[in-house]
Each structure stands twice: as structure tokens, then as C-alpha cells.
Structure 1
């Protein structure tokens, strides 16, 4: 199992000690952001700052003018990290410290794009737009995301990439002064609030045999009891889709599943294909994913067979208890036929302030390995405190001592 950590370029640029400090953790790889969404990030060890505010989604390298000339949808550039190519600057420093660099590319999560192009975003059953969530069924959005994947993934010095939000984004989204927690929504309700009714999706439902107005009405009816507080959240994720079918009805649920799964599969296939076409042989392409195909977000839902048929592997959210970890890893650990030596990376939050448990890394990694994981991802080396990083270092050393294969476990 190779161990890798997530990082932002601003964690390295301007800090001459950052790369060596990271290499000293015992990791072999850094997954370095090259295209990222807006964020406000802590930098606990940087000699020049403690907070970086990335005001909008942007690429962290100079985009190719020829690729984007004359196009309405195009990536924005940034001005919060010094230099024209902060990704490249950070990547070179990390490589000089002996770390393998992979790109971290965020796709269908972009509030700036949605604000500038409101027709291109997900619209829920009530007509509300989600500016942070480009609708991946729209041809113009898919074309943009596929080209962004190819450009942002294949940066000089990168040996592979990890594509985040390569699928549907929905309701769940951290927002400034968020006030959406007043009604507790189950996993089924989260899905229903994430279904898109833009003009393209509405036409798609109709072509599948059910008028969009009937699908919309079914979704609104299914959500009404949630607003009254009458539907408690199910105890486990396994029952989410069954709850959707029960609340929505078999026919509308089937139409939504067919349309949305098809759009997500097309984006995965085209984005990964574009990256492979742009990259040299041996460049590895991983997807941040969730085995529940109906789920939305950074770890976009993808059936295991479909994901591993196009990509070299997956990065799976494994922070939480043992049962939750098993539910995520189990479907991918079976290694569908044709997956070969697929990477199944268990992603653990190692920032205590974000709910992580860096002190239990060795035990959690061992459990993930028993469930079929063959790699580790640690979120996030730049955000973690010194104490958290010390726990990571100790955990990786313990894993190496136990396995006899060194700190990569």
C-alpha cells in the first residue's frame, strides 16, 4: 500500500521547508491541487501567512489560451498564490524532495462558473438553481469538464491524476453562513433535492417515456413529508435507494436512475479518455468515488464495474466507523472482472479539527487493508496541526514495522 497525502500549492510556495517536512512523514506521493473550488484554508506552518482565501474556483497553473479561446465556459485563473504557475512551483519542490506528484482536479463543483452561466447549472424540482453544481448532462458543460480534465490533469512533472466530483453534484455544499440544516434530510431526500430539472434533463426524462412535469410532481410529492419532519433518516446507507423508490414510485425512480447514471458514466468515460489521450504511457487516472451510484458530491456515485472499467482505480471516503468503511470498500474490493491491478485507495481524514483520527491511522489502515484497500490517502497534510502530523508519522511507521515493507504499508 502506497501512502499519499493531499496538498494545496499554497502550502508549499513560499515555504522552503514544506517539501522536506512532507517527505519526512513517510509518504511516497502528494496529490497536489491543480484545479480547485473556492475555499478558505488554514496554513498552520507557513512562514508568511496563516489563512489563504481562494475566492473562486480556479486553475492553479497558466491555462492554454489556444484551448479556451472564444469559449463561453473556461477556467478562471487565480491571484492568491504568488507566481504564474503555483502548481508547477510546488510540484518541482516536492519532486526534488523525492515525492511523486499527482494532480488533484476538481470538476463539477464550480460556483464561479454557475454564477456566470446560470443556464448551465443543476435546478431542483422547485426551480432553484445550484450555482456550485454544473449540470453534467448538458453538452456544453460536459465539453468544458472533459477539456479541463485533460489540461489540469496532465501537468509537467505529474505521474498521475485524481479526478474529484467527476459526476453529479447536488444539494450538499458548504456555503457562506449556511442555513440549510433546519430540516434534517435523509439520504433519500438529499438525492431528491439534487435531481436536476434544467431544460436538458427535463427533455431527457421525457425521451425516456415519462413527461418531465410528472417526474417533477413526483419529486415534490415525495419531499413534502420531509419538510413536515415526518421521515426520519434511515439508519444505514444501504437503504437509501430503496427509500427513493418507495417515496417516488418505481417508474419515476427508474427514469431518473437511467438518465443520471448514463450522464455520469458518459462524463467518466470521456474525461478519463481525454486524460489518457493527453498523457504519456503509464500515467495513472483515479476517480474519487462512492459505490452508491445515486450519491452526489466530491465522491460522486459510480458503480464499481463501470468506474474500474475506465479508470486505473478509485479513492474512497473511509473516515468513520468500521461499518461505514466496509460499506464503501466492500463493493470495490471485489475487483470486477477486467479491473486488473486496480488501485483501491482508502481516504482518511487526519485533521482532528475536521473530525479525523490521526492517532488511529495504523488500526484504520489495517482494517481498510483487510477489506481490500491497497493504498492510502491522507486528507490533508497542509491543514493538519503539528500534533496531527506527528501522529501520522507515527502511524505510518507502525504500519511499516508491522508489514515489514517500510512506511508505505
Structure 2
């Protein structure tokens, strides 16, 4: 007689799981959505006492999370936007990067970069984005069975590298170094080869500015002063690191279509659904699992008193499954209307790369529709072990094309 194996995860009460809300294993192999759903109903503003992590408040409803995003004066980003072990203290990049700064500095840093991510700028990049998508899909079709993680990763990476000013000949090296850092769950700034490369690029642009983002950072000013080399490096790291969210959304979107083939067929039949499909993928994946703020003054949220200095953690996948905002939120529906998700944040810190990320999604999925007859999952997928980002760590797929593939020599 074969014994039935019951996962210990299913034997635990939501109250017990509250102690594990930031445990990477829960996010990689458990069911955090079940916990968030319980919290939205019974404990939407919940305090977690200090342990390995400092004490923090969890917010799980759409309304509360949106309100915190829209109050940068009351909830600061400068001490860090991700949970860190208490022994590490505040994020050393606090106040120095776009993600870890508050107004008015945040606005000035943003102004240095905004032109590179504007709607007009992205329109100017559409041809190169489509070319990158075509190259990535052709390579995947040629391989037959491949890991979609690398299809999406190389594609999104090549686009941001071009904006930053990294020559195409170096894209593969930079991609490999970033993958090594992501796999080790360390900061990109901790990868010596990557930082050495950026230092050389920085000095090159100091000597000879070019039409790229690094040149804009090297030669731009905040409060009338040039950024330090350290600040330029951290902001480059921040921008490259942010591509992980976009990449995970692309991979998670592919997984969603594999699990809901009717939606892929629907999109194949009606390409006009593509913009809405992109929004639903962004909502569904919510690849940034949490964002943190530090209260600057006492606040009462749903009867709970949050003191100045308290850390407040915003669980974005929970906000984007909130039954009070989204009808049937656990249904993947590429025609969902309305779809007011906040996966890309809100307010002052609304994702600067949001227009670019949407353009990349449209290009890659359009190319997959054009160039393939069939996309099948070719093996089990695994999930990223992290409480900061979520999505597949591996997703083997088989791409079958009706078009002949010209092999590279």
C-alpha cells in the first residue's frame, strides 16, 4: 500500500504561516497567495516582531498599498526598499539611487534618466526591440528545446544594455555576470567583473561622452553637483537589476499561457488583445513580490498605529489579487477590463521603465505568435527562491516553427 504524502505546508494554519511570510521557501514552494488572501480578510495590517529580520508591518490590500505609494513624504524609500537581515542595517545605497531616494532628490535623479524611457524614446527603439525579439525567438526555435528563462533574459538584457551604452559585443559577458549574481542572490555591485566593467565604461564616457544613459549620468547634475562615481555605478546597477523584474514577468507570462492555452489561442486569433494581455501578464505575475517603506511620522492604518521609523512592507501580488478591486482576481483573463493593477508601483516611484517593459512584452509575444506554430512545456518548471521577486527560475519549452530556420555558422 502506497502512503499518501501530505505537504507540511498544508497542515499549517494561516496564523502560523504569518511567521514565515518573508521565508523564501514559502514563496518558492508554498502558497503565499493563500496566506495573503487570509490576511486581506482577517489581518490586512499586521505587525511582525523582530527576529533575523527587523520588525515590520505587512500591508496586503490594494487600497492601503496604493495610499502608501502615493505618500512619499510619509513613507520614505531612503532607508531601503527591500527587507534585509537586521544585522546588515539600512541599505547602503539609501539616498543615492533612483529607487532609494525621496523627493526632491528623487525627482532630480529621475529627470536625468527620464528622456531615455519616455514614450517618444521607446517609440524610437521599437525597431531595435523587434530585432532583439526576432533574434531571441529564432535562437530558441533553432535550439528546439530551450529554457525560456534565457530567451527572455537575453532579450530584455540586450535592450537595456543598448540604452545604458554597453556595446553589443559585450552584451553576453554582462548577461553572464548578472546571471551569476542573480543565481547567488547577491547584489550586482558585489560582482567584481561587472563593477570593473562599469568603472571602465564610466571613465570612457567621462573622457568621451556618447548618446547613452551612462553619459547622461556622468555629466548630469543633481542640486547643481555632478554625481559621484559611486552614485553613477549604483544607479547603473539599479537599472540593470531592475531588468530582473521585467524578465520574470516575461517568463511568468509564458508560464501563464502554457497553463491557460485557451488564452494563447484567443490572442493568436485576435492580435488586438495584445496590449490588454500585457497588462494582465503584469498583474498576474506581479514579479516584484514586495517593496518596503519607512514611516516618517506616526500613522493609523485600519486602526493599527504605525510609529515613525517603523518599516512597512507592501506585498504587491496580494494587492493585485484584491477581491475588492478585481473581479474574479484568480482568473487569468487577457481581456480583463478594467485592470488598474499596481505591479509597477504608483505615485512618485512609478516604474520609470514601465513604457519600455510593455513594449518589450508586446514585441516578444508578437514574435512568438508570428514565428511559432506550437509552444509546449518540455519539463517541470522551478520557481525563484526569493521574497523580493517571484517567477520561474527555469521553464523548459519546445518551440515548433512553420518557418525554416537558418542555422548560424
TM-score scaled by length of structure 1: 0.25
Higher helix share: 2
Bigger RCO (CA 8 Å, 6+ sep): 2
TM-score scaled by length of structure 2: 0.25
Higher strand share: 1
